[in-house]
């Protein structure tokens, strides 16, 4: 048994040594021809070149950084290598660019500060297209900001765009006004859009349309009250801070609160007039004489008419209703039935003349008119208090 185990172990060790002696080389070894070197990917030049504003030089000795770097050779021992810094985000209220090898001029402008997420932002886009080039704004009129399926950007168009075009000296000027909004929680959203353009034409003058993608236009969202430390350009119309928003209900509530506060002094005034202030009372005789005096004065100035006689009848009935209850609703027959007394006889005589005018439409003679005035003076005499 021990001999068998020893032979088996020896046979296994021999097989292992043989396998190692005939094993191939490492897996990364390549004995064939060398693999071809991949060609570098050449990206096409950008469609548009942004026209950056030139900064004014305060000193003639100052030179742009690019010129200074080119003046020194790359292998200069005195040159200092500095770590590369990422480019700084540039905010332009109005950005212009030269596109399609200088054949199309592009411009876009808006207020870049003071927006919040979801705000409707108006943008003004301009194109200058000379002869030999063309753009098609139909997609913009249809409310489309993208043509290619893989073109994604956060903005969407709201409202109806306004497209104006003017042709001057062989150049067509387009001015497009649109309103956009976006809902990404991002401090620097980038706006871009697409539309068809052509710089080549077929022999029958048909444009060969391509996709025009505008350069990125950077806007700012107010998130937590900050602008990520960006330098704010001081331009006309953009020199003040954004005004705080006023909810629509504030003016209406202000009016309601003011009216409620003014109700208290108004109610106090009314309460004083109606309850606290002593009333000025007037006697029954004075009230009747004042009413009759106004009627007689008017009749003597413009002449007595049916209106004056009706008012005289009303005053007499109301004044003597205290002495003869129900006099205001009595007919002439009931008035004639009053007892033969001194006031009643004058009342009957006066009512006969008034009835002849008001009921029978008869004109009083001068003698009857004078007699009526004397009877009225006797019935309603001027009180001594007046």
362 in a domain, yes or no?
Answer: yes
Per-residue model confidence (pLDDT) at position 168 = 87
- Listed residues 254, 277, 300: the one ending a domain: 277
**Residues 204 and 258 occupy one common structural domain:** no
Residue 149 included in any domain? yes
Per the domain annotation, does 294 fall within a domain? yes
CA dist 124 → 144, 176, 177, 243, 336 (Å)? 16, 6, 5, 23, 95
Question: Residue 202's domain is classified under what CATH number?
Answer: 2.60.40
Same domain for 214 and 123, yes or no, is: yes
* Statement to judge: residues 118 and 187 lie in one domain: yes
In a domain, residue 81? The reply is no
Residue 83 lies in a domain: no
Judge whether 359 lies within some domain. yes
Sign of CA dihedral 271, 276, 278, 283: positive
Residue 226 lies in a domain: no
Whether 356 and 337 map to the same domain: the answer is yes
207 and 108 assigned to the same domain: yes
- pLDDT score recorded for residue 53: 72
The whole-number pLDDT of residue 64 equals 40
Is the domain of 209 the same as that of 322?
no
Which pLDDT value is given to residue 282?
82
Do 317 and 269 lie in a common domain? no
The predicted pLDDT at position 269 comes to 87
195 and 140 both lie in a single domain: yes
Q: How far apart are CA 259 and CA 280, in angstroms?
A: 32
| Cβ-Cβ contacts under 8 Å for 103 (sequence gap 6 or more) | 129, 130, 132, 133, 199
Provide the pairing of β-strand 217-218 with 190-191.
antiparallel
Together in a domain, 273 and 208: no
Structure token pair of residue 235? 């331009």
Residues 271 and 300 in one domain: no
pLDDT along the chain (386 residues), means of 10: 57 54 42 54 70 62 39 44 53 87 89 85 92 90 90 89 90 93 87 91 89 89 58 55 76 91 87 74 87 92 92 92 89 88 87 91 91 91 82
Domain that holds residue 298: 284-379
Domain count for the chain, please give it. 3
Measured CA to CA, the distance from residue 371 to residue 309 in angstroms comes to 14
Task: State whether 259 and 214 are in the same domain.
Answer: no
Tell me, yes or no, whether 67 lies in a domain.
no
Do residue 150 and residue 185 come from a single domain?
A: yes
Burial of 214 (0-12, 13-18, 19+ CB in 10 A): buried
């Amino acid at each position: 048994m021990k001999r068998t185990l020893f032979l088996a172990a020896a046979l296994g060790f021999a097989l292992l040594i043989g396998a190692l002696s005939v094993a191939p080389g490492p897996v990364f070894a390549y004995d064939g021809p060398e693999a071809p070197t991949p060609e570098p990917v050449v990206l096409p030049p950008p469609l548009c070149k942004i026209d950056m504003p030139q900064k004014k030089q305060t000193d003639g000795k100052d030179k742009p950084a690019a010129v200074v770097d080119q003046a020194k050779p790359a292998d200069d021992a005195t040159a200092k290598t500095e770590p590369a810094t990422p480019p700084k985000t540039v905010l332009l209220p109005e950005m212009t660019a030269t596109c399609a090898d200088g054949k199309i001029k592009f411009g876009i402008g808006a207020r870049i500060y003071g927006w919040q997420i979801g705000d409707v932002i108006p943008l003004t886009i301009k194109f200058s297209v000379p002869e030999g080039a063309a753009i098609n704004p139909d997609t913009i009129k249809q409310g489309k900001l993208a043509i290619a399926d893989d073109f994604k950007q956060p903005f969407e168009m709201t409202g109806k765009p306004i497209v104006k075009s003017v042709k001057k000296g062989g150049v067509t000027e387009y001015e497009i006004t649109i309103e956009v909004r976006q809902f990404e929680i991002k401090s620097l959203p980038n706006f871009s859009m697409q539309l068809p353009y052509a710089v080549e034409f077929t022999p029958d003058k048909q444009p060969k349309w391509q996709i025009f993608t505008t350069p990125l236009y950077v806007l700012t969202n107010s998130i937590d009250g900050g602008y990520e430390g960006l330098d704010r350009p001081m331009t006309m119309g953009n020199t003040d801070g954004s005004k705080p928003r006023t909810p629509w209900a504030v003016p209406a509530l202000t009016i309601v609160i003011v009216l409620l506060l003014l109700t208290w002094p108004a109610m106090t005034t009314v309460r004083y007039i109606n309850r606290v202030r002593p009333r000025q009372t007037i006697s029954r005789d004075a009230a009747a004489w004042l009413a009759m005096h106004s009627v007689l004065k008017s009749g003597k100035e413009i002449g007595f008419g049916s209106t004056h006689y009706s008012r005289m009848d009303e005053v007499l009935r109301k004044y003597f209703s205290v002495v003869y209850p129900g006099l205001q609703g009595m007919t002439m027959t009931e008035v004639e039935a009053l007892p033969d007394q001194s006031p009643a006889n004058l009342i009957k005589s006066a009512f006969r003349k008034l009835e002849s005018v008001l009921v029978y439409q008869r004109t009083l003679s001068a003698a009857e008119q004078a007699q009526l005035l004397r009877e009225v003076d006797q019935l309603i005499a001027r009180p001594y208090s007046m």
